[in-house]
Chain A
Amino acid sequence: MPSKKKKYNARFPPARIKKIMQTDEEIGKVAAAVPVIISRALELFLESLLKKACQVTQSRNAKTMTTSHLKQCIELEQQFDFLKDLVASVPDMQGDGEDNHVDGDKGPRRGRKPGSSGRKNGGTGSKGKDKKLSGTDSEQEDESEDTDTDGEEETPQLPPQASHPPAHFQSPPTPFIPFTSPLPLPPAPPGPSAADAEDEEDYDS
């Protein structure tokens, strides 16, 4: 193919393709990669269908591709036989002298395989296709991480309350008086000071 695009991002949504697949009740579990590769196959199929239909459009000297061009393309290509039932109701192109070779048998939904018609005998699939959604889940890997949450709580001991600092210590009296005149604690008792004064008197006498 001339336009080969290797983007991993699928053009058609895989989830949608999986849902379309599983409208057929016989379809069970589907591997995760299957809708992605069917999306790629669908791209190639559409590219082929559109290019061949375009050849029909051009051969008819038309400017717009119509459903009739698609129908003729589908009828001419054996690869697209499975689409004949789908386009059976599409009108043929105007002024077309060719006979309509559409197969009138509408029993099987899908066309026969090219070169082989033994599939029906070998397959055990019933033709009753309901449009109900299948409830089966895809076998996808569950990547949920198992995290072990261990609640190890460390409560450090609070530092012990600071003990009362040592009591009043002797120091020479300072003439400087601090600005904080209102005292938070009661003033010292005058007893010891009086005792000091008496000592001085003893020295004098």
Chain B
Amino acid sequence: MASSSGNDDDLTIPRAAINKMIKETLPNVRVANDARELVVNCCTEFIHLISSEANEICNKSEKKTISPEHVIQALESLGFGSYISEVKEVLQECKTVALKRRKASSRLENLGIPEEELLRQQQELFAKARQQQAELAQQEWLQMQQAAQQAQLAAASASASTQAGSSQDEEDDDDI
């Protein structure tokens, strides 16, 4: 059985993460490149080991989904019990984060304006714009009316002055 198969990039832990881990754990030690590759394969083996054990525990409990509890039991039975306390801390953080996400999403629904309100405001703005346009048209109409009135007044006054001139001529004729 080829135990070192599955070296596809998608099926191993990223090399950058391994290098970072080595740098943080052994800051003053040089590690050969093939040793780094071997560490990557050790990670894959570890994941398969824990997964298979957790899967068997899951099957015995007649469940269909591998749960964190199954993983913790797998660590215990495989001799990695010293990891369990820190693993449980991470599990608690996962639950806390999930809970906060739910609260945050509901909070966003409350704080944010719902879509119906947004549509209503949009239509109100459209209505105001139409009303303003109508008012502007009405004002223009009124201004034209006033201009027409002034024009008529001017024409009337011109005609009146012409008639006054005619009447003066007639008076002169009567005196003679």
Q: Are B32 and A180 in contact (CB under 8 A)?
A: no
Evaluate contact between B24 and A3: CB separation under 8 angstroms: yes
Please name all residues of chain A whose beta carbon is closer than 8 Å to the beta carbon of B42 when the two chains form the complex: 46, 49, 70, 83, 86
Are A46 and B29 in touch, CB under 8 angstroms? no
- State in angstroms the CA–CA spacing of A85 and B142 once bound together: 98
Across chains A and B, the number of contacting residue pairs, with CB separation under 8 Å, is 285
Task: List residues of chain B with CB within 8 A of the CB of A147.
Answer: 114-115
Contact B5 A131 (CB under 8 A): yes
**Closest partner residue, chain B, to A22 (CB atom):** B51
B12 is an interface residue with CB less than 8 A from chain A: yes
Query: Is the beta-carbon distance between B153 and A51 smaller than 8 angstroms?
Result: no
Q: Judge if A47 is at the interface, Cβ distance under 8 Å.
A: yes
Contact A171 B138 (CB under 8 A): no
- Shortest beta-carbon distance from B158 to chain A in Å: 8
- A159-B134, A175-B157 known; A65-B26 Cβ under 8 A: yes
Q: Quick check: A67 and B127 within 8 Å, CB to CB?
A: no
Interface string of B54-78 (1 = CB under 8 A from A): 1110010000111110111001011
CB atoms of B26 and A51 under 8 A apart:
yes
B120 interface hit (Cβ, 8 Å): yes
Show 27 residue pairs from A and B whose CB-CB distance is below 8 angstroms, ordered by the A residue. A17-B13, A20-B11, A20-B47, A23-B48, A24-B51, A28-B66, A34-B66, A34-B67, A34-B68, A40-B86, A45-B83, A46-B42, A47-B21, A49-B42, A57-B29, A65-B30, A66-B32, A82-B45, A139-B65, A152-B119, A165-B142, A173-B156, A184-B147, A184-B151, A187-B155, A193-B156, A200-B167
Question: A interface vs B, CB < 8 Å?
Answer: 1, 3-4, 6, 8, 10-13, 16-17, 19-21, 23-24, 26-34, 36-38, 40-47, 49-51, 54, 57, 63-67, 69-70, 78-79, 82-83, 85-87, 90, 106-107, 109-110, 113-116, 119, 123-125, 131, 139, 143, 145, 147-156, 158-159, 162, 164-165, 168, 171, 173-175, 177-178, 180, 183-185, 187-188, 190, 193-194, 196-197, 200-201, 204
